[in-house]
């Protein structure tokens, strides 16, 4: 037996109030009568009756005190530990990064584990437990398990992650797993509708840093950075912040932030060649993991591109606009080497070079491209593809285009009713974009989409950028480009955990991002080793924090049975009894006499 | 006319033929027929002459018929002395008891005066506080009314100490006591005293509805109107029921004493209409 809401015990104040009211009840009302002659003759009898009456009055007082005590128990959430209830329970334990906060017990997670273990211990031996852990993706640890010791061991093994599980995903997972008549009990610092929530937080004394952004000023040779500091507490705070450039202290500032709001901080005159920006909150709070944020500064590296053509001013002009591309031209397609991108415009080598990616226009009918025919005056449609980003119109006239057989629909860039006309593919494990038409046969260069299309195409083919995404959070997956000549690759987490890259595909999806900090991708080539870093931060979910702030009480497990309903019924019965006695006291006395 | 015994009430008394059927011996000649054989004109019986008899009452016609001397016997008519002892203590002041007591006293006085009887009204509390003695004739009724209505009810009662000194003024007649008897009444002692003084006694026990059927909620402090004594009652209906039982015992005790001495006992609720009381008096034999 225990209480879930100690504040409810404030209701006990009503007990002395009732006693005082009884003590202060009005004095006897004076009533003048002709004579006390007869009354005095039965003074003794009245005195003894009065004593009984006082006792009855006291009983009413005790009934009222009892009612108050019961109501207090309801408000305080009195529960008993069920001894013999067999239940099918889905236990949900939140392992999100906020559970690492130390406002209660050793941490919210430690407290949640303790409560969950208590809960499991108090279940009936025949209860079946399904354990769901909320990591970036909800993970079912065990299903319909009866062995309490085993369940407790699994609970104890749960660790807080640096990420957070999205509310929608949690709700969907619970809805999927939940069986009829199954009780769902959540242990964590959030709140989910429709299930029992055992909250394991005491306060929200937390500050966090998110969203570092920067602007590079080439002319001044400086970088200006902007970061956002959040105060999740219910009181205003003066938060000290340190700013680091390439892991070296650069500046310190303080920012005063109102409760439940955020403030911006600017840092100026950062050296232009900086590669890493990081912000650290120096103030003490419950949760350290969100006190730091990182941002990689994009460093431009010029890539060498070779345009192999018999003459194409449109392409030459468009490609030379790309800031990271150093464009060369040639009319000899054979024996090429040393370029990052090879652009073949109507003329092709016997064998494609092995050290770069390819952009192909108007290919011949070799088997490599799975050419299936030609279409005159085609009408193009576009598929969702990185290359067609920001392109709204596909209306350009083409005299004729080749169409190809493409197995994977996701690789199609332009389609016609007879087959794909532009697509991505791999040639000797190198990325290639193929356009089936000759640009000279189209009015595409005259449209405003043409330079965008070419920029997107080159961006896609740039080989030295291993990671495309700029903003990465714990729990995200990252697509890593395996460079054409890579013979060995690995990814190293901030804590030093190394994962090998799968070199069988040129795009490797890495889903092991579970730490805040700087990850390093290393790709070893025959004569060189290339390293690239990317930053991973804590995701910011304002809705989540808001919910925590609304309900900042620690609740102990509801365990198996709350007594609220039973106590409520008892209170109603007592009130009815008291009302009946009070209303019919005269009749009751008459009946007794 | 007064405020209590007003013209309407007197009209009511006039319309009621009231005869208190009492046998009286002694006293002045009045309208009451005495059991004593007297010299009135109403024939009663014959008996043979005996020496010493008034020869004027010899029925000579009977002598001629029976050759024996008979004497005519006549019923002697005597006047009644009606004395009304009215309690004027504080306890008789409230709850319509004063008005009822005055009306009762007025009723007896009016009836007696109308029958050419002599009326005395004695008002008392601890002792006799006011009296009118030997009133005769209907015209005296106004004196009775004014003396009753002008008198202020106050103090505590002592019936025996009040009546005891009055016994020298009593002649054979009717004594009426109008009181709530809410005191250590020594009623048996009083009745014995009046009976000793050859009084036919009528006891009018005047109680208010509040005394007969008290109603109050819990937590009452009762205050004695005479003594100012206080008594806390916390028991509500329980105390009321105890009181009712006690009152019942008390009345039965008085009734038993009255029955023992042939006293006519009347319990009068001040809430009841006075007509009921008057009809009750008519039934007294």
Residues with Cβ within 8 Å of residue A566, at least 6 apart in sequence: none
A586 domain-assigned: no
A238 domain-assigned: yes
Q: Which chain A residues are closer than 8 Å to B98 by Cβ?
A: none
Domain boundary residue, one of A241, A256, A285:
A285
Say if residues B167 and B193 touch (Cβ distance below 8 Å): yes
pTM flag (> 0.90): no
B224 and A33 within 8 Å at the Cβ level: the answer is yes
Candidates A33, A38, A589; nearest CB to B250 = A38
- The three-state DSSP-derived secondary structure of A35-72 is CCHHHHHCHHHHHHHHHHHHHHHHHHHHHHHHHHHHHH
Q: Which chain A residues are closer than 8 Å to B183 by Cβ?
A: 35, 37
Pick the closest to residue B183 from B129, B231, B237, B224 (CA basis): B224
A234 domain-assigned: yes
CA distance A69 to chain B (A): 28
Q: Which range has highest mean pLDDT (A431-445, A475-489, B44-58)?
A: A431-445
Asked if residue A344 and residue A267 are part of one domain, the reply reads: no
Asked if residue A440 and residue A325 are part of one domain, the reply reads: yes
- On the question of pLDDT at A87 being above 80, the answer is no
B229 and A586 within 8 Å at the Cβ level: the answer is no
- On the question of pLDDT at A548 being above 50, the answer is no
Domain range for B70 is 32-78
Candidates B180, B224, B238; nearest CB to A49 = B238
Percentage, residues of chain A above pLDDT 90: 18
Asked if residue B108 and residue B13 are part of one domain, the reply reads: yes
B2 domain-assigned: no
B27 domain-assigned: no
B216 domain-assigned: yes
Q: What is the mean pLDDT of chain A?
A: 82
A31 and B95 within 8 Å at the Cβ level: the answer is no
B243 domain-assigned: yes
What would the mean pLDDT of A76-104 be, rounded to a whole number? Answer: 75
Q: Which chain B residues are closer than 8 Å to A45 by Cβ?
A: 242
Give me the pLDDT at residue A422, please: 94
B36 domain-assigned: yes
Q: Which chain B residues are closer than 8 Å to A26 by Cβ?
A: 219
User: Which residues is B61 bridged to in the sheet?
Assistant: none
Q: Which chain B residues are closer than 8 Å to A27 by Cβ?
A: 219, 221
Asked if residue A233 and residue A276 are part of one domain, the reply reads: yes
Tell which B residues from 36 to 75 touch A, by Cβ distance under 8 Å.
none
Mutation site for B-interface testing, chosen from A25, A30, A37, A52 by largest number of B Cβ within 10 Å: A37
Mutation site for A-interface testing, chosen from B218, B224, B269 by largest number of A Cβ within 10 Å: B224
ipTM: 0.74
Asked if residue A428 and residue A453 are part of one domain, the reply reads: yes
Domain range for A197 is 88-204+544-559
Asked if residue A247 and residue A190 are part of one domain, the reply reads: no
**Phi and psi torsions of A548, nearest 5°:** -65, -40
Asked if residue B86 and residue B73 are part of one domain, the reply reads: no
Asked if residue B99 and residue B160 are part of one domain, the reply reads: yes
Asked if residue A523 and residue A495 are part of one domain, the reply reads: yes
Candidates A34, A45, A54; nearest CB to B180 = A34
Return the higher-pLDDT residue of B21 and A264: A264
Asked if residue B278 and residue B242 are part of one domain, the reply reads: yes
A499 domain-assigned: yes
Domain count of the fold of chain B: 2
CA distance A578 to chain B (A): 17
Say if residues A95 and A160 touch (Cβ distance below 8 Å): yes
Give me the pLDDT at residue B22, please: 42
pLDDT in tens, A297-332: 877 677 889 999 988 888 898 888 887 888 999 988
Asked if residue B214 and residue B90 are part of one domain, the reply reads: yes
A587 domain-assigned: no
Two structure tokens written together for B210: 């509040």
Rg (CA), chain A: 37
DSSP designation for A179:
P
Give me the pLDDT at residue A376, please: 93
Asked if residue B237 and residue B111 are part of one domain, the reply reads: yes
Asked if residue A212 and residue A142 are part of one domain, the reply reads: no
Asked if residue A215 and residue A197 are part of one domain, the reply reads: no
A144 domain-assigned: yes
- On the question of pLDDT at A590 being above 60, the answer is no
Asked if residue B38 and residue B147 are part of one domain, the reply reads: no
**Phi and psi torsions of A119, nearest 5°:** -60, -45
pLDDT in tens, A167-213: 888 888 888 888 877 888 888 888 888 888 888 877 777 888 888 88
**Closest residue in A to B243 (Cα–Cα):** A39
A38 and B182 within 8 Å at the Cβ level: the answer is yes
Say if residues A366 and A399 touch (Cβ distance below 8 Å): no
Candidates A25, A33, A53; nearest CB to B223 = A33
Task: Profile chain B (285 residues) by mean pLDDT over runs of 10 residues.
Answer: 78 66 41 48 69 78 84 63 92 89 90 84 92 86 89 89 89 90 83 89 91 80 84 76 89 92 91 83 68
A590 and B237 within 8 Å at the Cβ level: the answer is yes
Pick the closest to residue A412 from A439, A437, A381, A438 (CA basis): A381
Asked if residue A307 and residue A448 are part of one domain, the reply reads: yes
Domain count of the fold of chain A: 4
For residue B81, give the 3-state DSSP assignment.
strand
**Beta-carbon contacts below 8 Å between A and B:** 117
Say how far apart CA A312 and CA A346 lie, in whole Å. 10
**Closest residue in A to B89 (Cα–Cα):** A34
Domain boundary residue, one of A257, A285, A313:
A285
A34 and B184 within 8 Å at the Cβ level: the answer is no
CATH number at residue A161: 3.40.50.410
**Closest residue in A to B184 (Cα–Cα):** A37
Give me the pLDDT at residue B128, please: 92
Asked if residue B62 and residue B151 are part of one domain, the reply reads: no
- On the question of pLDDT at A1 being above 70, the answer is no
B180 touching A, CB under 8 A? yes
Give me the pLDDT at residue A484, please: 67
Q: Which chain B residues are closer than 8 Å to A28 by Cβ?
A: 219-221, 232-234
**Closest residue in A to B235 (Cα–Cα):** A50
Say if residues B69 and B48 touch (Cβ distance below 8 Å): yes
Q: Which chain A residues are closer than 8 Å to B221 by Cβ?
A: 27-31
pLDDT in tens, A124-154: 888 888 999 988 888 888 888 888 889 999 9
A510 domain-assigned: yes
Say how far apart CA A322 and CA A446 lie, in whole Å. 18
Asked if residue B64 and residue B172 are part of one domain, the reply reads: no
Candidates A28, A34, A40; nearest CB to B221 = A28
B118 domain-assigned: yes
Return the higher-pLDDT residue of B154 and A78: B154
Candidates A30, A53, A54; nearest CB to B221 = A30
Give me the pLDDT at residue B252, please: 93
Q: Residues for chain A: how many in total?
A: 593
CATH number at residue A260: 2.60.40.10
Give me the pLDDT at residue A56, please: 65
pLDDT in tens, A334-368: 888 888 899 999 899 988 888 888 999 999 888 88
Interface residues from chain A to B (CB-CB < 8 Å)? 25-43, 45-46, 49-50, 52-54, 57, 585-586, 589-590, 593
CA distance B85 to chain A (A): 19
A157 domain-assigned: yes
> Which run of H or of E encompasses A343?
strand A341-345
- pLDDT confidence bin for A542, thresholds 50/70/90: low
CATH number at residue A324: 3.40.50.880
B163 domain-assigned: yes
B182 touching A, CB under 8 A? yes
Asked if residue A124 and residue A253 are part of one domain, the reply reads: no
Asked if residue B236 and residue B196 are part of one domain, the reply reads: yes
Candidates A25, A46, A54; nearest CB to B233 = A46
Asked if residue A227 and residue A200 are part of one domain, the reply reads: no
> Token match 């949690």: residue?
A170
B1 domain-assigned: no
B252 touching A, CB under 8 A? no
Candidates B97, B239, B250; nearest CB to A46 = B239
Asked if residue B145 and residue B67 are part of one domain, the reply reads: no
Asked if residue A359 and residue A271 are part of one domain, the reply reads: no
Asked if residue B278 and residue B202 are part of one domain, the reply reads: yes
Give me the pLDDT at residue A179, please: 81
CATH number at residue B96: 3.40.50.410
């Amino acid at each position: 037996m225990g209480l879930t809401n100690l504040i409810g015990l404030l209701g006990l104040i009503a007990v002395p109030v009732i006693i005082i009211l009884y003590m202060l009840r009005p004095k006897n009302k004076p009533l003048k009568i002709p004579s006390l002659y007869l009354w005095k003759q039965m003074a003794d009898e009245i005195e003894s009756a009065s004593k009984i009456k006082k006792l009855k009055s006291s009983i009413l007082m005790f009934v009222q005190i009892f009612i108050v005590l019961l109501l207090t128990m309801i408000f305080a959430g009195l529960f008993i530990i069920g001894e013999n209830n067999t239940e099918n329970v889905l236990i949900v334990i939140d392992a999100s990064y906020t559970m690492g906060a130390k406002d209660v017990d050793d941490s919210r997670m430690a407290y949640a584990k303790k409560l969950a273990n208590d809960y499991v211990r108090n279940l009936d031996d025949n209860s079946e437990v399904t354990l769901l852990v909320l990591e970036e993706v909800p993970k079912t640890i065990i299903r319909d398990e009866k062995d309490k010791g085993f369940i407790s061991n699994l609970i104890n093994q749960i660790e807080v992650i640096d990420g957070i599980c999205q509310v929608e995903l949690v709700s969907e997972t619970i809805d999927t797993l939940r069986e009829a008549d199954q009780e769902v009990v959540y242990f964590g610092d959030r709140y989910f509708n429709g299930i029992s929530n055992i909250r394991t937080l005491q306060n929200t004394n937390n500050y966090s840093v998110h969203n570092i952004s920067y602007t590079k000023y080439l002319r001044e040779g400086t970088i200006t950075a902007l970061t956002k500091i959040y105060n999740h507490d219910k009181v205003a705070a003066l938060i000290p912040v340190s700013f680091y450039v390439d892991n070296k202290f650069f500046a310190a500032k303080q920012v005063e932030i109102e409760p439940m709001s955020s403030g911006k901080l600017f840092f100026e005159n950062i050296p232009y060649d900086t590669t890493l920006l990081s912000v650290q909150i120096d103030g003490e709070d419950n949760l350290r993991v969100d006190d730091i944020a990182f941002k990689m500064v994009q460093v431009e590296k010029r890539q060498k591109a070779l345009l192999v053509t018999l003459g194409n001013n449109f392409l030459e002009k468009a490609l030379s606009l790309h800031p990271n591309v150093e464009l060369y031209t040639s009319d000899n397609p054979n024996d090429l080497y040393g370029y990052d991108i090879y652009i073949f415009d109507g003329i092709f080598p016997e064998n494609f070079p092995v050290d770069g990616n390819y952009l192909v226009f108007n290919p011949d009918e070799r088997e490599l491209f799975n050419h299936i025919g030609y279409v005159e005056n085609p009408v193009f449609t576009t598929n969702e593809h990185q290359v067609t980003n920001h392109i709204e119109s596909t209306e350009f006239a083409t005299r004729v285009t080749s169409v190809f057989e493409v197995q994977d629909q996701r690789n199609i860039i332009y389609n016609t009713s007879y087959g794909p006309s532009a697509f991505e593919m791999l040639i000797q494990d190198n990325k290639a974009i193929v356009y089936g038409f000759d640009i000279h046969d189209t009015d595409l260069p005259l449209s405003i989409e043409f330079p965008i299309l070419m920029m997107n195409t080159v961006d896609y083919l740039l080989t030295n950028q291993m990671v495309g995404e700029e903003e990465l959070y714990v729990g995200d997956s990252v697509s890593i480009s395996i460079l054409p000549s890579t013979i060995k690759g690995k990814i190293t987490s901030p804590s030093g955990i190394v994962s090998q890259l799968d070199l069988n595909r040129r795009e490797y999806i890495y889903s092991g991002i579970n730490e805040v900090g700087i990850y390093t991708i290393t790709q070893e080539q025959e004569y060189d080793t290339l390293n690239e870093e990317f930053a991973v931060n804590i995701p910011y979910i304002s809705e989540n924090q808001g919910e925590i702030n609304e309900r900042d009480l620690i609740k102990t497990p509801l365990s198996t049975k709350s007594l609220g309903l039973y106590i409520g019924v008892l209170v109603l019965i007592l009130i009815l009894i008291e009302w009946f006695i009070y209303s019919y006291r005269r009749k009751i006395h008459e009946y007794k006499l | 006319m007064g405020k209590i015994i007003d013209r309407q009430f007197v009209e009511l008394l006039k319309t009621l033929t009231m005869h208190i059927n009492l046998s009286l011996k002694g006293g002045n000649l009045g309208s009451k027929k005495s059991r004593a054989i007297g010299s009135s004109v109403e024939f009663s019986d014959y008996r043979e002459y005996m020496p010493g008899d008034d020869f004027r009452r010899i029925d000579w016609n009977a002598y001629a018929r029976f050759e024996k001397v008979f004497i005519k016997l006549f019923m002697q008519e005597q006047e009644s002395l009606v004395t009304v002892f009215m309690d004027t203590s504080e306890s008789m002041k409230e709850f319509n008891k004063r008005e009822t007591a005055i009306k009762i006293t007025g009723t007896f006085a009016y009836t007696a005066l109308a029958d050419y009887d002599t009326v005395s009204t004695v008002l008392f509390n601890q002792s006799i506080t006011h009296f009118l003695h030997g009133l005769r004739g209907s015209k005296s009724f106004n004196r009775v009314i004014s003396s009753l209505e002008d008198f202020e009810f106050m103090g505590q009662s002592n019936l025996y100490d009040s009546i005891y000194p009055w016994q020298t003024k009593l002649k054979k007649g009717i004594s009426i006591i109008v009181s709530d008897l809410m005191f250590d009444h020594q009623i048996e002692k009083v009745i014995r005293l009046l009976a000793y003084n050859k009084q036919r006694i009528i006891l009018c026990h005047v109680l208010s509805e509040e005394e007969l059927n008290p109603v109050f909620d819990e937590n009452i402090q009762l205050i004695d109107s005479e003594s100012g004594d206080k008594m806390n009652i916390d028991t509500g209906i329980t105390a009321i029921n105890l009181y009712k039982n006690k009152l019942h015992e008390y009345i039965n005790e008085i009734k038993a004493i009255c029955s023992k001495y042939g006293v006519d006992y009347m319990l009068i609720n001040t809430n009841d209409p006075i007509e009921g009381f008057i009809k009750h008096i008519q039934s007294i034999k």
